[in-house]
Amino acid sequence: MKYCYFDSPLGQLLLTGNTLLESLHFPKGKTRVEPEEDWVYTEDIFKKALVQLDAYFKGERTIFDIDLKLDGTLFQKKVWQQLVGIPYGQTISYGELAKRIGNPCASRAVGMANGKNPISIIVPCHRVIGKNGSLTGFGGGLEVKKNLLELEKRYKKKML
């Protein structure tokens, strides 16, 4: 496995992959990961992701264009594909996401798939919130989710 770090306003993000980006981890929260001894530090395969993450955090990029390796079930991949379609600076509920994948009764399963998203920010699972507008579960912690949503809201206003 190859890895590198990206210094973000949220702390140091860990990017991993073999030939393509496979995961992005936050410095805190339940999905936090540390590199293993046999992992190799390199920025080579992550250059495009690093440039685009930098532009995202500066409010200069609203959509990512990076080749990814997403490992998951067919259901998870279907959910993750829908996440990419949520516009920058907007949010939807888990129920709405379930409707978009054609299974309106699957909001709980959608929430579980959302929580398994290995490439947060780039596959924007932070844009999914509770039906009452509340911030719910996020692998990097609710404070990180709040900060990402506020960042997008702030830059979206500047773009208008």
Active site (annotated) includes residue 125: yes
Structure tokens at 90: 């907007």
Q: How far apart are CA 102 and CA 156, in angstroms?
A: 29
Residue from 125, 129, 148, 151 carrying the catalytic annotation:
125
Q: How far apart are CA 89 and CA 107, in angstroms?
A: 22
**Listed residue (96, 104, 157) closest to 128, CA to CA:** 96
Contact 33, 24 (CB under 8 A): no
Q: How far apart are CA 13 and CA 144, in angstroms?
A: 12
Q: How far apart are CA 118 and CA 116, in angstroms?
A: 6
Q: Is the dihedral of CA 150, 65, 1, 127 positive or negative?
A: positive
| Catalytic (active-site) positions | 125
